[in-house]
Amino acid sequence: MTKRPRFKRLLLKVSGEILSGSGSSFNVARIKSFAEELAGIGESGVEIAIVIGGGNILRGINMGKEGISRVAADSMGMLGTIINAIALRSVLDNNGVDAMVMTAIAMERLAEPYKIQSALEYLEKGKMLILAGGTGNPYFTTDTAAALRSIECRADVLLKGTKVDGIYTSDPVEDSEAVLMKELSYTEVLKDELKVMDAAAVALCRENSVPIIVFNIMKKGNLKRILAGEMLGTIVK
């Protein structure tokens, strides 16, 4: 990347599905591809924090419907995000990226406990952070965790990587006439109950003026294109 990056510091939120494939929880080739892309943008000097979901392992809300208490199910989901974070860190290390995992749940033998000041210092030193364990509390999604961490880490933007090209007027998988919306306000997203992120996450970003860009992270190169200034996906501001 030769041009100056569009953002100095970003928070990237991705689902656990970016690490999975072919019916398995983990697809090593996909993890390697994602790590290589992260390594490439890291070389540009952008400070990167990542919040990753755990849906490839289990979804707490689904487990709750099967008879497991919501608190227990969400705790299991938070552990899933930590498993994903450790896997991603390992592959990033193999790509020469100075990455580390910080967790909202104390487990010092596996990762450093998340502390705001430490996270800021690591980012300023050029370390790539993988922030796992959600918020550390049940009933809060990893989207909400991403919004909270973007505020705490003073990110310029929250990038939400998805499987579609942005926010549409309806579900593009089910509706062939769905139209991509290039720009929305936080209020429009909340009022129309657009499901790209949960309401708590959007409200947090609105209250703290953190723009959200929703884009297709499954298309290799999109992350680099956004940092180079291309207006991909949907921006919520």
Tally of CA atoms within 13 A in the half-sphere of 186 that contains its CB:
17
Element (H, E) at 29: helix 28-42
At 138, is the secondary structure helix, strand, or coil?
coil
Q: CA 219 to CA 183: how far, in whole Å? A: 20
Q: What is the pLDDT of residue 38?
A: 93
Domains of the chain: 9-236 (3.40.1160.10)
Q: What is the pLDDT of residue 170?
A: 86
Residues contacting residue 94 through CB under 8 Å, at least 6 positions apart: 35
Q: CA 143 to CA 212: how far, in whole Å? A: 11
- Token code pair at residue 81: 């995000």
Pairing, β 183-184 against β 234-236? parallel
pTM over 0.85: yes
Q: What is the pLDDT of residue 133?
A: 96
Element (H, E) at 101: strand 99-103
Degrees to nearest 5, angle at CA 56 with 54 and 58: 65
pLDDT band at 101; cut points 50, 70, 90: very high
pLDDT digits over 7-52, tens only?
999 999 999 988 987 677 888 888 999 999 999 887 788 999 999 9
